[in-house]
Amino acid sequence: MAKPIYVLNGPNLNLLGRREPAVYGRDTLADVRSRTEERARGAGLVVDFRQTNSEGELIGWVQEARDKAAGIIVNAGGLTHTSISLLDALQAAELPVVEVHLSNIFRRDSFRHHSYVSLAATGVICGLGAKGYELAVDAMAQLIAAPKSRA
């Protein structure tokens, strides 16, 4: 059986639909999960969708992905801008990584303009709301199909 795509969500993403809907939209994390799983099924993929408010748990999942996943889609929330440890784990995973942000981080507070995750990411999708997860699945399908073409 093919390895799943890990879809990892960081702090506060469990509050989607309730937290700042003008910024993050009205879709809940359950809505995002459902749409992501549906898109993956259409591409012949399986996702392992997770959320945590703990940096250590997120890093543990990235380390687990090294052996158990075909790739990682990650929305690290606020850890995007602060966690060198997460960057180190993503780089050590040696997998394709697609970074996702619901909002356009470059139209927000200046501290959000820097992403440690981007240093390990094969690609970044931001500002397209929950649709970004579906696009990340499409991108991951292509990356897995042609791993030698990754930059």
The single residue of 101, 113, 114, 116 carrying the catalytic annotation is 101
Residue 66 neighbours by CB distance under 10 Å? 14
User: Which regions of 104-147 does DSSP assign to beta strands (E)?
Assistant: 123-126
Residue 59 pairs in a beta bridge with none
d(CA 34, CA 29): 9
Q: Any catalytic annotation for residue 113?
A: no
For the chain, the straight-line distance linking the first and the last C-alpha, in angstroms and rounded, comes to 27
Catalytic residue among 24, 81, 113, 133: 24
Catalytic site includes residue 114: no
Active site residues: 24, 101
